[in-house]
Amino acid sequence: MTIQVLNGANLGRLGTREPEIYGSTTYAQLVDVLETTARELELDVRVRQTDDEAELLRWIHEATDAGDPVVLNPASWSHTSVALHDALAALNTPLVEVHISNIHKREAFRHHSYVSSVADGVIAGLGVEGYVLALQWMSLRGHR
Exactly one of 1, 16, 48, 66 binds ligand CA2 (CB under 6 A); which one?
16
Which one from 27, 99, 114, 131 is the annotated catalytic residue? 99
Q: Quick one: which of 2, 76, 80, 93 contacts ligand CA2 (CB under 6 A)?
A: 76
Give the nearer residue to ligand CA2 in terms of CB position, either 8 or 94. Answer: 8
* Residues 109 and 86 sit within 8 Å (Cβ to Cβ): no
Site size toward ligand CA2, by CB under 6 A: 17
DSSP output for 100-141: SS-GGGS-GGGS--TTGGG-SEEEESSTTHHHHHHHHHHHHT
Q: Other C-beta atoms within 10 Å of 54: how many? A: 8
Instruction: Tell me how far the alpha carbon of residue 95 is from its chain's centroid.
Output: 9
Minimum distance, C-beta of residue 22 to ligand CA2, in the bound complex (Å): 4
Binding site for ligand CA2 (CB under 6 A): 10-11, 13-14, 16-18, 22, 73, 75-76, 78, 99-101, 103, 110
